[in-house]
Structure 1
Amino acid sequence: MAITFRRSIRILPGVRLNLNRRSWSLTVGSRRGPKHTWSSTGRRTTSYDLPGPFGYRRSHRSRRSGGRTVSR
């Protein structure tokens, strides 16, 4: 059985700092409306919960080289 670590800290209403063993992320948004998440690994996610079993999620990962974004 694997041991995992995950912690979510509410900073302000609608703002959360999420921590796990390898990275951290910042989530801004509420239950009703879009949520935007920025991760220390370079991933940016926008999600929106719709009524019922539906939802929308779009994820983008920036190209990183040595901690810098590579423009091509």
Structure 2
Amino acid sequence: LDVSRMDSRFTVDFLVDYYANDLLYFLKYWISHNFEPDVETYYAKIDVLFKNSIKELNIRYMDKS
């Protein structure tokens, strides 16, 4: 990851901490739900979260009513 062009608040340590904590949360959640859904479905959900901004997720997936 090239952080040289990123905002100075996003240090390598910050990014590592952020993504590590997110991954730990997802794993805890998955384990506590008896590994449901299956690994492929769960990975696809995580993949969408990591590859999209909160704003994009809100626009695409949240109920707009």
Coarse TM-score class (shorter-chain normalised): under 0.3
Q: Greater strand percent: which structure?
A: 1
Task: Tell me the TM-score normalised to structure 1 length.
Answer: 0.25
Which structure's relative contact order is higher, taking Cα pairs within 8 Å and 6+ residues apart?
1
Q: Greater helix percent: which structure?
A: 2
